[in-house]
Amino acid sequence: MTTLNHHLVFNDQGLIPAIVQQEGTREVLMLAWMDEEAIRRTLSEGRVTYWSRSRGEYWRKGDTSGHVQHLISMSTDCDRDTLLVTVNQVGAACHTGTHTCFDGRELSEISEIAETSTTA
Amino acid sequence: MTTLNHHLVFNDQGLIPAIVQQEGTREVLMLAWMDEEAIRRTLSEGRVTYWSRSRGEYWRKGDTSGHVQHLISMSTDCDRDTLLVTVNQVGAACHTGTHTCFDGRELSEISEIAETSTTA
């Protein structure tokens, strides 16, 4: 585990989860991951930037889609191992086109979660 | 990586991050982790239950502190690797006594994040 000045705590991949929330409406838009450099870019540019685990590269939200996130503020939690990023979201937050990544995906039944488990 | 019925995606420790949000005010209270059994208990009991990574045991929020979380709803995101749990929080969400785990912990300066990095 890597610790930085002021004890921000990253996981063993050097990443910290970032919860992204729309200012005003307080909708939770998405969760993504940042490393130290992504945090630095986000704070210095005011454009929210993540580390894409699937692509293995920095991902400045909206560069491709136009769905930019303008930084309002960034906080850590009590354990300093999670970030809460307040943004102004341009357009849809989710790459599927829904307003947030959680829209219309409610789990109401236990059977929806896990009946059979398989290891991939 | 373990996948379950309906493709809920857990990390290599069998865990999925859960963002916890207060109904109504939409404050983000905390982020914690669940495994399949914690999700099942949460849905069946209506009391939000996590897997405590530090203690290595199930943690039904409020059993010690009285600061219970009553489940309102649970959703997954587009990738099915994050949960958004809407709750009614009794008392303070944070073990430090603050209302949310993010209260008063804003990062405003890049120098607050990382000046020197050390590996623990």
Of B28, B98, B109, the CB nearest to A84: B28
A104 — alpha (psi -120 to 50), left (phi > 0) or beta? Answer: left
pLDDT, position A87: 98
Of A27, A36, A94, the CB nearest to B113: A36
ipTM, two decimals, is 0.88
pLDDT tens, residue by residue, B15-69: 999 999 999 999 999 999 999 999 999 999 999 999 999 999 999 999 999 999 9
pLDDT, position B104: 84
pLDDT, position B2: 45
Residues of chain B contacting A13 with CB distance shorter than 8 Å? none
The DSSP symbol for B47 reads B
Helices (H), chain B: 36-45, 110-113
Q: Which of residues 57-116 of A touch B (CB under 8 A)?
A: 73-80, 82, 84, 94-96, 98, 101-102, 105-116
Rounded percentage of chain B residues whose pLDDT exceeds 90: 79
| Full-model pTM | 0.89
Query: Is A11 part of the contact surface with chain B (CB cutoff 8 Å)?
Result: no
pLDDT at residue B118 tops 80 = no
| CB B67 within 8 Å of CB B89 | yes
Pick the closest to residue B68 from B98, B92, B41 (CA basis): B92
Distance in angstroms (rounded) separating the CA atoms of residues A80 and A94: 26
Judged by CB atoms closer than 8 Å, whether chains meet at B102 and A26 is answered as no
